[in-house]
Amino acid sequence: MLLIRSLAFNLVFYVNLIVQMILWTPYYFLSPRHRAWFVPKFWSRTSMWLYDKIAGTKSEITGQENLPEGSFILAPKHQSFWDAIAFFPFLQDPIYILKRELTWIPFFGWYILKMRMIPVDRGSRSKALKAVVAATRQELARNPRQLIIYPEGTRRAPGDEPAYKYGIVELYTQLGIPVVPVAHVAGLYWPRRKFLRYPGTIKARFLPPIPAGLGKEEFMERLIGETEAACDQLLVEASQAPNPPPLPPMAEKRLRELAPIPQPEPPPDR
């Protein structure tokens, strides 16, 4: 059943994407941008609904009270395609930083350009980062927006050692806006580079914002410490669920590290 439900969901997921992209095209491109956001947000919600009904995986996202008004940076863990689509319905006007090649894809690329995302060229990281900062600052000057950036860059398996990149520090410092870390272990249920979709409940949490104006080292220490502590808690909860997903080796290793050290039994009373 796991194989059948996974195959069915993967098929319906992409069919849903293509069909909605075509059907919504007139409304999307003729509407003002703030109204057109309804389309991708509706697609995200229907995708999560299909994920629940077909694969048996619910999505439980909490902490919305921690999202500030106006502009901020959303900094989720990146473990799965799930975290690329699950969060933007909660944001008023999100921005993604993405590879320029994605804008060349028919329909999909046009949808991206409509929402004024920030495409970057592959090449020098320092040049790309400067371009991203300049483009983001320009967008924030026009309207309050929420920049979604994955601090570790590429997807990593649950339990992996943290590997945060410097780019998030530079954006935080240059833009002068708060950062909201996001903790989850979605990679247990929607693993990277696999088509299996394990049933259960993906729990994700918007953490309290890190205020603007901190020093670079203090900011990075808080971002890593608070995000990883919350992810550890969610990993423990997932492992103790009634029907836990299979744990990758790094997740098992991390759980052993988090296990309390057994205390010696007190001597019996005489």
User: How many angstroms separate the CA atoms of 80 and 50, rounded?
Assistant: 17
**What amino acid is encoded at 111 in this protein?**
Y
Q: How far apart are CA 144 and CA 209, in angstroms?
A: 16
* 12-60 pLDDT per residue, tens: 999 999 999 999 999 999 999 999 999 999 999 999 999 999 999 999 9
Task: Say how far apart CA 132 and CA 129 lie, in whole Å.
Answer: 5
Q: What is the mean pLDDT of residues 151-169?
A: 90
CA–CA separation, 107 vs 25, rounded Å? 9
Which of 66-70, 115-119, 126-130 shows the lowest mean pLDDT across its residues?
Answer: 126-130
State pLDDT tens for residues 53-78: 999 999 999 999 999 999 999 999 99
Confidence category of residue 103, pLDDT binned at 50, 70, 90: confident
The lowest-confidence range among 5-19, 96-110, 148-162, 213-227 is 96-110
Task: Give the three-state DSSP class for 209.
Answer: coil
- pLDDT at residue number 266: 61
If you ran DSSP here, which 8-state letter would residue 92 be given? S
